[in-house]
Chain A
Amino acid sequence: MDIKLSDAAEQYRARVRSLLAQELPADWRGIAALSPEEREQFDRTWREFLVEQSLLAPGWPSEYGGGGLDITSHSVVAEEFARAGVPQHVLLTDPVGMTLLGPTVLHWGTEAQKQYFIPRTLSAEIRWAQGYSEPEAGSDLFGVRTRAVLDGDEWVVNGSKIWQTAGAHANWIFALVRTDPEAPKAKGLSFLLIPYDQPGVEVRAIKTMDGGAELAEVFFDNARTSADNLVGGAGNGAKVALTLLGFERGSGGIALALATKLELLRLRDAMRSFGVDDVTLRRRLADCWTSVHVMHCLALRNLTVAASGRPPGPESSISKVMMSEYRKRVTELAVDILGPRALTPTGMPSKVNLGPQPLGVDADSSTAWVADFLHARPGTVYGGSSEIQRNTIGEQVLGLPREPRPVPATKAG
């Protein structure tokens, strides 16, 4: 039982550190400390730098512009970026492209699909939205109704998708669509890539409870896409969709645990700056610190499993539930520490919507803490809700009986 990274991984860490030290200014305090104008400038050059260094997609094969790194080195990059307060993903659509679509095309795609989509995803010529959920198909993902019908060498798509993260910033969507309405529920689905830039696609932003509009709805009205843009074979969509959810597992966990620890130190600094010293709040903070340690241990374990090449076990469900429930707990603690300051948010705005703020955010910005408090709520809903994760663990890991499915009404007579 060895919990230390290999010497090779530590040498690689030293390389990443010196690379960052060269690239970042001497007075660097973290991305979140930049003014909006500085940020715009930084983002542009930083993304170019990442592409140049093959670090935008560290785990993809180098022949397609990735870093060709094994999962442990990839994890080291993520960890050092979090420590330095620089983003791994720059555009709002980058996480979707780099962690979801890219690995899926690399795994399931044809050579032509890889050659076309991978470089364009890295260059941001193509920016992706994830089109799984629909108004009538949320947790019950395989109940999607959006239809695609082959017409010559094109698929014609009708229906709609909802809740696309960064959907208004994208220009392509990968969608789970029904290509065979006669087949049983999960068997009639396909994974289809559809460009926005056509009359049959309409995108509408959704205003969310934090006042922002990061989510979107996408409507298809006889939208068209080339027959070549179906990934993984017709009728194979459910399988492709499920492998997608398992990609990149393991590489981000240690970085996330570190970012979460840095967030707690910021919360401690906020307590100090507000002069809050209450034993109950202090113990809740210590309890959160304990949870962060648990997540760090889980991340090490996940990395071991992922690096061994074994198929993913129940780890991803456990980590998902732990982290999303934790985000609610820590942000509830934050607003309790804020006390009445939560009523009138002031100070530096939040910089990211998912997970802890990067380095550079003011500890006493109530605006940022309140935003995190709101952003934590949907964490237990998206990506498989806490209830769905518990069903999965109960049925697929513990072997408990499934719930009886409703019996379809038999036709009278």
Chain B
Amino acid sequence: MTFDFTEDQRDFAAMLRSFFDAQYGPDRLREVVDHGKTYDPTFWRTMVDDLDLVGLTVAEAHGGSGGSTVDLCILLEEYGRALVTSPLFATAGLALPALTEAGDEDSRSRWLPRIASGATTATWAVLGSTGAPDLTGTGVQATQGAAGWTLSGSRSWVLDGATADVLLTVAGTPAGPGLFLVETATADGLTRTATDALDPTLALAEVAFTDTPAQRISGDHAPDGLRRALALGTIALAALQLGCLSGALDMAVSYAGTRVQFGRPIGSFQAVKHRCADVFIDTETTRWVVFHAAALASDPETGADALEEAAHLTSAYAASSSFRAVANLLQVLGGIGYTWEHPGHLYFKRATAAARLLGSSTHHLDAVSAVIDAAPSAAPGWGASA
């Protein structure tokens, strides 16, 4: 056991840190936030062409770098810390796992190379109308006609829903749910409405399907594959939340070390110091929980149940730890933290939004409850295995 990053992974993280610091500084962030720009295609090309970030986890046979979920989480921590607005998370964090885990071979060889090359951006419309992930296809119905499949229904809170080239969603069919893909540029009967978003760095949309042509892309392994895909997406989201924690920690500590009141840095006051220590504890604990889940996800022997359980635990924890941290951050910042000008509120909003993007923390806690209910009573285990 070596529960640690490899030298290469550390180098990768350091490279990403300096890349985002250099390329996505406060000015660019401000431009996005102030002018409601969704994303900058030039910056997207840099991420894709120079660093192959979107294809990081795509198999080499499909034109990607063949990286693991651990690598993806390293990327998303740094990407989340820099509060970047781009299709990277929806594409690599949500749509790719769905395609890879639940898509059939045809759709994988068709779409993975295009996505890895950055030519096609994608998203997965996950949430049902209650705000919980919909893997049964209750919100959208698929019908098979002479010309192929069409979808009817709607999805809300779709990340990058107004801009993605390809939209994935689970829809119900008479034979059970399946994963469907819509090419947004050409599809008839598709309405995509960008919505105001609490977090200005995450672009959300309402998507309505009216007899919209779609491709069925899931094979027979879809039910388990979809559960795995959602678990992977949830772990990826937790890495984004970890980035929020790590950014909030640095911001709180640097402000506490420099802001002077009563003739001394406010970080010398225990009330402030202890808040910073709590943010540190939340950051470090979340880091090892996220990378534990990522390590499980990177191990082909991990079954869907175990992966799902890890995702619920990780998400439940990351939701509460990241919110505690950003709340502490705003208190440490004093009045300046309440301004639009200071970036502190962006972490606050990111933590709040991320805790809802793939189901609320109560959703995840209730799933944990189900695990507890199903566990056998404690009995001496020396005779039994594990």
Contact = CB atoms under 8 A, between A and B. Distances in A.
A binds B: yes
Interface of A: 1-6, 9, 17, 20-21, 24, 28-30, 72, 80, 83-85, 262, 264-266, 268-269, 282-283, 285-287, 289-291, 293-294, 297-298, 300-301, 303-304, 307-308, 314, 318, 321-322, 359, 387, 389-391, 393-395, 397-404
A51 to B, nearest CB: 20
A21 B1 contact: no
Interface string B277-302: 11011001100110110111011000
B316 interface: yes
Nearest to A295: B285
Given A398-B253, A402-B268, A287 B273 contact: no
A395 B273 contact: yes
Interface in B333-383: 362, 365-366, 368-369, 371-373, 375-383
B292 A3 contact: yes
A286 B292 contact: no
B274 A286 contact: no
For chain B, what secondary structure do more than half of its interface residues adopt (helix, strand, loop), or is it mixed?
helix
Contact of B382 (A5, A83, A262, A264): A83
A391 B284 CA distance: 17
A359 to B, nearest CB: 6
A265 B3 contact: no
Contact of B281 (A3, A83, A304, A321): A321
26 contacts: A1-B5, A1-B6, A1-B294, A3-B3, A29-B379, A80-B382, A83-B380, A266-B377, A285-B369, A289-B371, A290-B365, A294-B289, A298-B288, A301-B4, A304-B3, A318-B284, A318-B285, A387-B274, A393-B281, A394-B276, A394-B277, A397-B280, A398-B253, A398-B280, A399-B253, A400-B268
B1 A5 contact: yes
A290 B316 contact: yes
Contacts of A300: 1, 3, 288, 292
B378 to A, nearest CB: 4
B366 A265 contact: no
Give the interface residue-count category, chain B.
35 or more
Contacts of B1: 2-6, 9, 72, 300, 303-304, 307
Interface string B242-277: 000000000001001100000011011110011011
B70 interface: yes
Given A404-B264, A404-B268, A266 B378 contact: yes
Contacts of B323: none
Contacts of A1: 2-6, 9, 70, 291, 294-295, 298
A294 B277 contact: no
A264 B285 CA distance: 20
Closest 3 CB pairs of A and B: A394-B273, A400-B267, A390-B277
Interface centre among A5, A308, A318, A391 (most CB of B within 10 A): A318
Contacts of B264: 401, 404
B289 A293 contact: yes
A395 B273 CA distance: 8
B380 A84 contact: yes
B317 interface: yes
Given A17-B382, A84-B380, A401 B70 contact: no
For chain A, what secondary structure do more than half of its interface residues adopt (helix, strand, loop), or is it mixed?
helix
B280 A286 contact: no
Given A293-B313, A359-B380, A397-B280, A282 B369 contact: yes
A304 B2 CA distance: 6
Nearest to B274: A390
B92 to A, nearest CB: 19
A398 B275 CA distance: 12
A334 to B, nearest CB: 15
Given A1-B70, A293-B317, A294-B317, A262 B378 contact: yes
A101 B307 CA distance: 42
Contacts of A390: 270, 273-274, 277-278
Contact of A401 (B268, B368, B372): B268
Interface in B106-123: none
A200 to B, nearest CB: 40
Contacts of B373: 268
Contact of B285 (A24, A83, A322, A389): A322
B268 A20 contact: no
Contacts of B362: 283
A240 B299 CA distance: 43
A283 B366 CA distance: 7
A262 B378 CA distance: 6
A24 B379 CA distance: 14
Given A84-B381, A398-B253, A290 B276 contact: no
Contacts of A391: 270, 273-274, 277
A287 B2 contact: no
Contacts of A318: 281, 284-285
A21 B385 CA distance: 12
B196 to A, nearest CB: 31
Contact of B280 (A3, A266, A290, A393): A393
A17 B265 CA distance: 55
Contacts of B294: 1
A83 B385 CA distance: 10
A85 B380 contact: yes
Nearest to B314: A293
Interface string B301-327: 000000000000100110010000000
Contact of A400 (B256, B313, B372): B256
A1 B371 CA distance: 26
B177 to A, nearest CB: 26
Contacts of A359: 378-380
A114 to B, nearest CB: 31
Contacts of A297: 285, 288-289, 292
Nearest to B321: A294
Interface string B1-42: 111111001000000000000000000000000000000000
Given A282-B366, A300-B292, A390-B278, 10 more contacts: A1-B5, A293-B289, A297-B288, A297-B289, A298-B288, A318-B281, A359-B380, A389-B277, A390-B273, A398-B267
Interface centre among B1, B284, B295, B296 (most CB of A within 10 A): B1
Nearest to B370: A286
A17 B256 CA distance: 51
A83 B267 CA distance: 44
B301 to A, nearest CB: 9
Contacts of B280: 314, 393, 397-398
